Structure formats: structure tokens, C-alpha cells
Amino acid sequence: MIMVMCALNYADRSSLSASMPLISQEFHLSPSSVGWLLSASLWIYILLNFPSAVLAEKYGNRIMGSLSVAFWSLAMVAGALGGSYGNLLVSRVLLGVGEAPTFPIGASVINRLSSSGERPVLFTVFMASMQVGLALGTAVAGALTYVYGWRLATVILALPGFVWALVWWVRYRDHRVAVHVGTADEAAPPRPSVLQLLAILRKRSFAGIVISGASGNYMNFLMVSWLPIYMNHKFGLNMAVAGFDASLTYLAAAAISVILSVAITYLSRGYGSTTASNRVVTSVLFVISAFLVMIIPQANSAMAVVVGVGLALGFVRAGSGANQALLNDLLVPSRYIGSAFGLALTFTNSVGMVAPIVTGYIVERTGTFYAAFCVASGLLLVGAVSSFFYTRTPIEILESGGTS
């Protein structure tokens, strides 16, 4: 269910980029205006990642999951029914409000249902569902936009979210774990305060994980927002074909990331701690992806771009899955992974948010995407260095009596 939630999140988010040629024509948008619209859902999303995670841990994933998906689906419908650029912009901001709890809820469920050895694969599969959502959203939106227009395409993509919200409410049950301290008569320690949770910002390892995650998110959001437009710009493909090619790329990335994660997890058994393994995997995969990104602009065919971007995104997603598992490994106690992950997302998505905007200005000034890919490649190298050197100490959260 959380994989489907994540897939719907990215299907709904990516539908805009697949429909953007018609939207841009209707509202007479410049490349920089397109960049602002593509990033609009992230403006409030990044601010609500941490608060929504705290609320999910307090009130439960059941109610937060159903409310969030229903809310962002309603925002999509409102945007499709609106008649101006301003209405569409506001609807994308509201979509970000609904999407904010997605990853904290997913991290919390994975932490509860898996062991440390299983988490790299599960986090990667969770991340791979993003690529599946991108593929479905881009392909469906591109095809429906081509035939019926972008408004109907948006409404159709919103409908599965309402179904998911209902099924999640009926089927999912929150699992409250009792915390025993000393004798059975002693009360469990109180939940950490917001200030105690925020104290992990001072932890070197948390900073290293955030920097790595931010570099991966920049690459991801660049491709989520601009890939169909890049295919249209470079090869003159219509919306349906560009959307289909982009969907192939996202599916390839999902498959590659899962295969890589499963293979690496299997091969690394018996070779030290999972923490050390996750650190090395993140660094190596980010370096490989950085070099792949640099050669994508040299591709002379749409299929070469599909292969190149699919490989680069696949390596980034597998590395990001290991990076998230690393946060789970280092966090003490790990049951607050939802809040810690939400706090990390506040920063990593802040960097991801600027990717569509920066790319829009680069394309507007240079007329090409080469410099935009160079920026993404450089950030991945920074993320690799950060993961390898700055994630070596525990990230502790005290449940009472101040912070460590």
C-alpha cells in the first residue's frame, strides 16, 4: 500500500510536465515561468515534511495517509477546473500540502516491518515506486493530453487517489509499540519534544545524510520536471511520444535500482555491518551516476537518452535507498525514523525544489541543457563525498531530560 501511495504521489506530480507544452501554450509561459510552476508543489511541501511526520507519529499513519492522498487528489481536480495560471499555481501548492506526509509514513511503516538487513532493499523498492509512478503518470498524461487536453488528463489521474484513501482507511491499522523501562510498573518515557527532535540538526552524521540526499533529490527532480520537455526540445517529439519515452526511462530506473539493491545486499552479507555497507554503496553509486549524467547531453537519439537517464536515475535511486537505510541504522532510537526522515526531507527537498527553477533559467539563458546536467553531476559528487566521510557516528534522540 505504501508503494502504491508513493507511486500515486509521483504520477500526479509528473502529469504536469507531460502536459506542459499545452499548458505553456495556453498561458503563454516563458521557460523560467514553467520552472516556477513545475516546482510549485514543493514550496509548501518542504515546510510541511517535518510537521506532517510529527503529526503522523502522534495521530497515526492511518488517518494521515487517507487525509493526505484525498487532499492532494482534490487539489488536482481543482487545478484542472480552474481557468487561469494563478489557479493552477495555487492548486500545485495545495498538492504539495497533501503530499508532505508520504515519505515519513513510508519510512515509519518500513522501519516497523523490517530488519536492518532488509531495509536497503525495501527503501529502494519504495523509491522505485516513485519511478513507476513517474512512468505511469507521464505516459497516461502525455497520451490523454494529446487526445483530450490537459484538464481531462489531470482529472483522470486524480481519481485513483480517492480510491487509495478509502482502501487505506478500511485496511490499515496503526501499531502502537509499548516501551518498557525498568519494571513493569514504570511508565514509558515521554515522546521527545520538537526541540529534542530538532537537536539532531547538530549531528555530523545527520548533516552528511542530508547532503547526500539533497544531491540525489536535485537529480531526481530535474528529471521528473524536465525530461519530457527535454525530449521534446532536442528531438522534436510530440507530447505523447515524449511522455512515452520518459515513462520508459522511469521504468528502467525503477528496475535497475531494485536489481542493484538486491544484488548488493546479497553480496554484502557477511562483510561487516550494514551501516558501513550502506555508506559505501551510497558513495559509489552516486559517483557512477555523476559520470553517466555528464554523457547524457552527447546522446544523439531518444533511445540513447532513455538508456542514459534510466541508468543514471537507477544508480541514484539505489544509492538513495542505501542512504535512507543508513539514517535508520544510525538513529537511536529508530522508532522516530518518521520524524527524522521528515526533518531530513525538509532540507533535501529544498534543494530539489530549486532544480526545476535553476534549469529553467539555464535553458532560458543558454538555449541548451548541458550546463543543467553539469550542475546535477557536480552535486552528486558532493553527495558521494559527504556520505563516505560524514556518516560515521550515531544520531541520538533523548526522550527525556534534554538533548545529547
CA 66, CA 87: separation in Å to the nearest integer? 25
Are the CB atoms for 78 and 91 separated by under 8 Å?
yes
Percent of the chain with pLDDT over 70: 93
Q: What is the pLDDT of residues 134-152, one digit of tens each?
A: 777 777 777 787 778 888 8
Flag whether pLDDT at 206 surpasses 80: yes
Q: What is the DSSP track for 198-215?
A: HGGGG-HHHHHHHHHHHH
Flag whether pLDDT at 210 surpasses 90: yes
CA 76, CA 9: separation in Å to the nearest integer? 11
User: Which of 334, 358, 349 lies closest to 99, judged by CA?
Assistant: 349
Flag whether pLDDT at 47 surpasses 70: yes
User: Which of 168, 23, 145 lies closest to 92, judged by CA?
Assistant: 23
Q: What angle do CA 328, 334, 338 make, to 5 degrees?
A: 75
C-beta atoms surrounding 382 within 10 Å: 16
Are the CB atoms for 33 and 134 separated by under 8 Å?
no
Give me the pLDDT at residue 180, please. Answer: 44
28-32, 321-325, 336-340: which has the highest mean pLDDT?
321-325
CA 97, CA 67: separation in Å to the nearest integer? 11
Flag whether pLDDT at 211 surpasses 80: yes
CA 10, CA 4: separation in Å to the nearest integer? 10
Give me the pLDDT at residue 71, please. Answer: 94
Give me the pLDDT at residue 156, please. Answer: 86
Confidence tier at 404 by pLDDT (50, 70, 90): very low
CA 20, CA 16: separation in Å to the nearest integer? 6
Flag whether pLDDT at 234 surpasses 70: yes
Give me the pLDDT at residue 66, please. Answer: 92
CA 218, CA 207: separation in Å to the nearest integer? 16
Flag whether pLDDT at 287 surpasses 60: yes
170-179, 206-215, 223-232, 390-399: which has the highest mean pLDDT?
206-215
Q: What's the average model confidence in pLDDT over 166-195?
A: 66
Q: What is the pLDDT of residues 26-36, one digit of tens each?
A: 888 777 777 77
- Average pLDDT over the chain reads 83
Confidence tier at 223 by pLDDT (50, 70, 90): confident
C-alpha cell at 289: 551516476
pTM: 0.76
Flag whether pLDDT at 89 surpasses 60: yes
68-77, 177-186, 249-258: which has the highest mean pLDDT?
68-77
Instruction: Choose between 285 and 46: higher pLDDT.
Output: 285
Q: What is the pLDDT of residues 299-314, one digit of tens each?
A: 888 888 889 999 999 9
CA 319, CA 178: separation in Å to the nearest integer? 33
189-193, 201-205, 223-227: which has the highest mean pLDDT?
201-205
Give me the pLDDT at residue 350, please. Answer: 85
Confidence tier at 399 by pLDDT (50, 70, 90): low
User: Which of 275, 313, 259, 289 lies closest to 119, judged by CA?
Assistant: 275
| Amino acid occupying residue 144 | L
Integer angstrom CA distances of residue 110 from 49, 143, 146, 260, 328: 17, 34, 38, 19, 10
Burial class, 277, CB count within 10 angstroms (exposed 0-12 / middle 13-18 / buried 19+): buried
| Amino acid occupying residue 333 | P
